[in-house]
Structure 1
Amino acid sequence: MTRDEARNAEHEAAGVALARLRDGAGLRELTCAVQQALGYIPPHVVPLLAATAKVERPEVFELIATNPAFSFTPAGRHRIAICLGRNCTARGAGALAGAARRALSLDFFQTTPDRLMRLEPFYCFGKCAQGPNVRIDSSIHGSMTESRLLNLLDDLRKTA
């Protein structure tokens, strides 16, 4: 697929996601729909978002740039979420987050250059008794230690 074909496919998918929403949906709701459909907000889709929401383009750019839930870059193939809820933090989640950031050389809401992993904070998976908890894609891993987390990250790299 050429770059132009990929852009056209993203634009079309964004249009489909926006068409599913009711008339009068707000900018945040529209942006969420595109983020969910594509995994990120391609900058070339901003004019479509602005037109649909009936706002100026700078307003769309500002929303995306100031809200860490939105991203102009594709998310990683694997999403690593570290619970930073009260109980998990009391059980060492802060140290886990630091270890993950050092191991991946990124901060929260960033993706590795190879687009393999994206690191995100999360606030309570509802498994407090097993904390600290880490979710990798859809699997929650409880009683996480720094060494176990680093091993899981290495396993993801090896299977890439």
Structure 2
Amino acid sequence: MAEIIQIKGNVKYPIYIDTGVWIFDDRKFNIEDWHPEKSAQEDSEHENYLKSVSSQWDTEIIEGSSPPPAEKPARKTKKQELLEGNFVIAFKPFILNTEPMPDASRVIIHTIDEELEFSLEETLAFIAGFSLNGKPLSEETGGPLYLYKGDGSNRDKPIKYVTGITIV
């Protein structure tokens, strides 16, 4: 099984993806935190978050910071989360880094059994899974990556055994 997957085709820059390094990527998140139905609201939520942080910053500059709360809620440690998590990452940046040509409109996902074709726009919403129960996806689990549709329709049955991606 190839641990490195190439995105090639009708692109300016073919790239190689090594899912083994994504565990160090700050853009990763736990799949349990992924709620596709809320993705439309994310942009406005992000703007609201930035406004609240900006307001808090202004308050602390003017009045000084307040002491931390006396008791913090129980949280998983970062190490524990990494050892137990099912991590995913947005697939859009990897597709955009190839700089698809203006006439590119389709994406073919090559697996060991079949070729699946999607529109480029649909593929930009994909989420790529790379970790299951804190371990990298292996050949036995269908790795090296899982692809989930942006609408979450294949959340229980992701695209597995991906061997390559071609933009046409």
TM range (shorter): under 0.3
Between 1 and 2, higher relative CO (CA 8 Å, sep ≥ 6) is seen in 2
Greater strand proportion: 2
Q: Considering only CA atoms, is the larger Rg found in Structure 1 or Structure 2?
A: 2
Greater helix proportion: 1
When the two structures are superposed, what TM-score results if normalisation uses the length of structure 2? 0.26
